[in-house]
């Protein structure tokens, strides 16, 4: 392989890896759906609720395994809406006809 071919090959691999990482981060890899990530603002609130630093990503995989109801409860409580998550879910269902 010539030096030019090796350089083009290396660039192709780098582009492939960037695309694959991007696809993985969006929750897809080889057509299999993986866990979606929440927005950074939601993740910060959940981390802080769990007594982590807002920027500590060490438990993000575990956080993503939690039920969405738990995430909603944690965010509500972190925002001072203690014991209101079920009430808010009811309002959303009544107003928007969407069950959370």
Residue 81, pLDDT above cutoff 90: yes
Q: Is there a single domain that holds both residue 30 and residue 65?
A: no
For 84, list phi and psi in degrees, rounded to 5: -110, -5
Q: Kind and range of the H or E element at 49?
A: helix 40-49
Q: Is there a single domain that holds both residue 65 and residue 93?
A: yes
Q: Is there a single domain that holds both residue 1 and residue 26?
A: yes
Range of the domain at 86: 39-100
Q: Is there a single domain that holds both residue 51 and residue 93?
A: yes
pLDDT digits (tens, 9 = 90+) for 16-50: 556 655 555 555 444 444 557 899 999 999 999 99
pLDDT of residue 32: 47
The total number of structural domains that make up the chain: 2
In DSSP terms, 88 is beta-bridged to none
pTM of the model: 0.64
Q: Is there a single domain that holds both residue 47 and residue 94?
A: yes
Please give the distance of CA 50 from its chain centroid, rounded to a whole number: 16
């Amino acid at each position: 392989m010539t030096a030019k071919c090796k350089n083009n090959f290396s660039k192709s691999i780098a582009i492939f890896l960037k695309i694959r990482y991007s696809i993985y981060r969006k929750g897809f890899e080889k057509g299999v759906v993986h866990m979606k990530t929440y927005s950074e603002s939601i993740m910060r609130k959940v981390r802080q609720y769990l007594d982590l630093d807002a920027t500590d990503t060490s438990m993000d995989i575990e956080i993503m395994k939690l039920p969405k109801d738990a995430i909603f409860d944690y965010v509500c409580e972190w925002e001072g809406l203690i014991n209101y998550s079920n009430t808010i879910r009811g309002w959303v269902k009544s107003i928007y006809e969407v069950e959370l």
